[in-house]
Amino acid sequence: MAQLSDDCFAFGGPLMSLDAARDMLASRLVAVTEVERVALDAALDRVLAEDVVAGVSVPPHDNSAVDGYAVRFEDLSAERETVLPIVARVAAGDRPVERDPAGTAVRIFTGAPMPAGYDTVMMQEDCGEREAPDGTRAVVIRPGIKRGANRREAGEDVREDSVILRAGRRLRPQDVGLMAAVGLTGAAVRRPLRVAVVSTGNELEEPGRPLGPGAIYDANRFTLSALVRRMGGLVTDLGILRDDPAELRAALERAAEGHDLIVTTGGVSTGEEDHVKGAVESLGGLHFWRLAIKPGRPVALGQVQGKPFVGLPGNPVAAMVTFFCLARPLIQHLAGETVSEPTLFRVRADFDYRKKEGRREFVRVSLSPGADGELVATKFARDGAGVLSSMVDSDGLVVLPEDVTRLERGGMVSYMPFSEVR
């Protein structure tokens, strides 16, 4: 079924800002994956398809937060030690003690249900036991404890009937644990997005094969496939396509039949050997978003037989940056995941930099503590969009907005660690 209208990526005019491109994605794209139920042990990294509502409170009953003695606050003296007979013992998993609490104490352990009528727990380290003449035991409690101390109330963690997880969330280990804590055995999640990934270019060769004259090994396909998989997508590797219009058209047509998204790298500029444009236009529609970013200006978005298509630049750094900026939110939209903006951190720049106004730039940097202990961003020595090693040897990207034209050493900048674009 078609997920996008024919004019979804329509665009004309000057360079499009990154914000405008993202806004267009948000307004035109919808989740395309079906809903299925999976057991909790298969729910990690899946996208929730519906809100999760707690069927019970957590904890389900008042309980002790420590090992100690449950007492009534009104029985305690505010000026001197209080001695109370120990009349019962309760551990985690025991049934609650039911007896008259007046003037007594109950030996209690962490997680044990609070006995009815007792409202405060004294830590065992802050009191002591002694034996009475009749052989019974008593606890000696020092003054100063507050009413309700060390008592966890029912529903302190989760209230029954409350929404604990929202649809669109990609499930983390703690999310799976929270569902188990309210007694759930499974979750309704989105089917993983099926993504076809392909590289284009006569110069490309598969790793492991001999390199001919003018050839280079294809790295982009492996990089992009790994990025898609890390976002929970199921990747089909279509290999390398040569700069041949008929071959490109046939491969893209096949890819559209069994995938939710097609991602290519290379062949999306305006050169005579860039044939992706014609192939996509003949199968649906393509409109270039000449994005006002660096690296990564040439990005193609469109449709192949109703399936979304994104064509990323051939230079590896540009391919990664445009993936972070555009393909990542696109994938989140299609997968039914709530689109999340990477968290940016303020750090001090250890470099000078000049850029054009109206263009957002991403500068590869490494972080290290400065003399004052604050983090300092050091620019990678080379700027080329083809220097893939710069993405390995850097910690993240400094993001310079459109209105900045000059950065001076010592200025504060926004820093996006690579861990934020998982």
CATH code for position 206: 3.40.980.10
Q: Are residues 377 and 388 in the same domain?
A: yes
pLDDT at 290: 78
Q: Is residue 409 part of a domain?
A: yes
- Positive or negative, the CA dihedral 11, 13, 17, 20 is negative
* Tokens encoding 141: 């409690």
DSSP 124: G
* Domain end marker among 314, 335, 356: 335
Interval 50-72 mean pLDDT? 96
Q: Looking at the structure, do residues 111 and 209 belong to the same domain, yes or no?
A: no
In CATH, what number is assigned to the domain containing residue 391?
2.40.340.10
The pLDDT of residue 266 is 86
352 with 387, same domain: the answer is: yes
Strands 360-369 and 396-400, bridge-based pairing:
antiparallel
| Domain termination residue (choose one: 292, 315, 335) | 335
Token readout for 257 is: 């039949």
Domain enclosing residue 273, as ranges: 18-33+192-335
Quick check: 404 pLDDT over 70?
yes
Instruction: Tell me what pLDDT residue 2 has.
Output: 38
Pick the last residue of a domain from 152, 182, 204: 152
Q: How many domains does the chain have?
A: 4
Does residue 137 carry a pLDDT above 50? Answer: yes
Distance CA 269, CA 291 (A): 12
Q: Are residues 330 and 219 in the same domain?
A: yes
Choose among 336, 331, 288, 329: nearest CA to 312. 288
- For residue 12, pLDDT over 70 is answered with no
Q: Is residue 171 domain-shared with residue 215, that is, in the same domain? A: no
pTM of the model: 0.86
317, 238: one domain: yes
pLDDT band at 271 (very low <50, low <70, confident <90, very high): low
The whole-number pLDDT of residue 336 equals 96
* Domain assignment present for 110: yes
CATH of the domain at 42: 3.90.105.10
Whether residue 292 is contained in a domain is answered as yes
Is pLDDT above 70 for 270? no
Instruction: Looking at the structure, tell me whether residues 367 and 414 fall in a common domain.
Output: yes
Whether residue 43 sits in one domain with residue 184 = yes
- Helices 328-335 and 18-28, packing angle to 10 deg: 10
Position 12 in a domain: no
State the Cα–Cα distance between residues 53 and 178, nearest whole angstrom: 11
Same domain, 41 and 67: no
Mean pLDDT of 21-42: 91
Q: Is 10 a domain residue? A: no
The mean per-residue pLDDT over the stretch 320-336 comes to 95
Q: Does any domain span residue 6?
A: no
Q: Long-range CB contacts (< 8 A, 24+ apart) of 373-377?
A: 374/347, 374/348, 375/345, 375/347, 375/348, 375/415, 376/347, 376/348, 376/349, 376/350, 377/347, 377/348, 377/349, 377/350, 377/351, 377/413, 377/415
Beta strands in 15-103 (DSSP E): 35-39, 52-53, 63-64, 68-71, 82-90
Let me know whether 130 and 27 are in one domain.
Answer: no
Q: Is 339 exposed, middle or buried (0-12, 13-18, 19+ CB in 10 A)?
A: middle
Q: Are residues 179 and 42 in the same domain?
A: yes
pLDDT value of position 8: 44
Q: Based on the domain organization, do 313 and 184 belong to the same domain?
A: no
Return mean pLDDT, the chain. Answer: 91
In a domain, 241, yes or no: yes
Residue 1 lies in a domain: no
